[in-house]
Chains A and B, each alone.
Chain A
Amino acid sequence: MTDPLDDPLADLSAALDVDPSPEFAARVRTKIAGDARGHHWQWTLGGLATVTVVMLAVWLRQPQVTDTRDAPQLVVSADGTAELRLEGPSVRLMRPEPVAPLDPGVNSDRPSVGNTVSRPEPETLIAPDQAIAFQRLVKLVYEGRVVASNSDWQKTSSLEPVASPAEVTVAPVEVQPVVVDPLIIDTMSNQEG
């Protein structure tokens, strides 16, 4: 063996004297075959991704139409008007107009002036399922198919006068006479004064 100080390349050449294993070429062929299959999949996936991107681009370029009719909403005004907005023609539920109180001494044919004052009408939005339930309930009430069966509810809704309360008898309280002794005050002598 040579001295590395004389020729380091000789030592390096000996250190690099390695040969590939016998199965080296076979492994290269296997890797090449796997690489070709991998490329086939890459092309397939690339094609699918391209098609997806093109379809997305076409879809995004179409004008967006916001259709709110799918979500039914019940709009309740302060004056008692409830409007159910559904797909198709909307359903408007109207409460009967309240009868104006008669003003004594005034012709009853003329409406009261006070009823013409306009008020702000705040709207309340409720959930679609509640709106549908409410719509069904109103429809059944109008058709007369809903009968109240709760007796308590009937009692309170019959507007019958509530029974007068029972009379309360109070027993007389006996009061003992209070006896107060007369107050005695001694007269003061001249010396004390």
Chain B
Amino acid sequence: MNEQVGRLAGVLVIEPEDLAREFEVRLADCSKLAVRVAYSVVRNQPDAEDIAQDAFVRAYRCFRSLRDRDRFRAWLVRMTWRLALDSKRGDRRRGAREDAVARLAPQFGNAERDVILSDRAARLWTAIDELPEKLRLVVVLAAIEGHGTRDVSALLKIPEGTVKSRLFDARQRLKELLR
């Protein structure tokens, strides 16, 4: 009984320094994930970083309820995705986004090959954009950091079987769109 009370008191009484320290750990752990999720939508690194920063600021406001690592990552991914979609709908930097698509292809010093790669990247993003939102998010998360179906399932809080079927559908549609 006393042990349970002590544990409960430990959960309820959280020092601000402890919270700040934990948040720093989450920030270092999830920065790349947040930036890449935002980048998959806006395709512009400065915009993606701005969006990810906003998501972290919002996460800090309710960090007391997000101390668990998996919970934090899932919340952050959903928040970043939503903010990025809102930003894209605003379409404030359309020109910058198209420049970013042109920069996707690596520079090999071969002009003809660069043009081919740039065209290929543009087609890929166009195909990604045409996917339904549910499939798009699963595909993006699966393509980031080598996430497996279990990771994606944990991030989106959906069953693993659903992730697998969505990934399959997404691959099929992408192949058709890129053909």
Contact = CB atoms under 8 A, between A and B. Distances in A.
A7 B143 CA distance: 11
Interface stretch (A19-27, A89-97, A179-187): A19-27
B144 interface: yes
A66 B97 CA distance: 66
A15 B125 contact: yes
Which range holds the interface residue count of chain A? 20 to 34
Contact of A18 (B28, B48, B123): B48
B73 to A, nearest CB: 15
A21 B49 contact: yes
Given A18-B35, A20-B49, A31-B57, A8 B140 contact: no
A16 B140 contact: yes
Contacts of B27: 25, 28
Contact of A25 (B28, B39, B120): B28
A7 B167 CA distance: 12
A18 B36 contact: yes
B171 A8 contact: yes
Which range holds the interface residue count of chain B? 35 or more
Contacts of A15: 104, 121, 124-125
B32 interface: yes
B107 interface: no
A5 B128 CA distance: 13
A117 to B, nearest CB: 84
Contacts of B121: 11, 15
A71 interface: no
Given A5-B175, A18-B35, A28 B53 contact: yes
Interface string A8-43: 110111011011110011011001100100000000
Nearest to B35: A20
A16 B53 contact: no
Nearest to B44: A18
A88 interface: no
A4 B124 contact: yes
A20 B52 contact: yes
Given A24-B49, A27-B53, A8 B174 contact: yes
B142 interface: yes
Contacts of A18: 35-36, 39, 45, 48
A20 B48 CA distance: 9
Nearest to A35: B57
B143 A13 contact: yes
Given A11-B120, A16-B40, A19-B35, A28 B57 contact: yes
B21 to A, nearest CB: 13
A24 B124 contact: no
B8 to A, nearest CB: 28
B72 interface: no
Given A9-B139, A9-B142, A25-B28, A32 B35 contact: no
B10 to A, nearest CB: 25
Nearest to A30: B53
A7 B178 CA distance: 11
B53 A31 contact: yes
A20 B57 contact: no
A25 B31 contact: yes
Interface string A86-117: 00000000000000000000000000000000
| 6 closest Cβ pairs, A-B complex | A8-B174, A12-B143, A13-B143, A20-B35, A28-B56, A20-B31
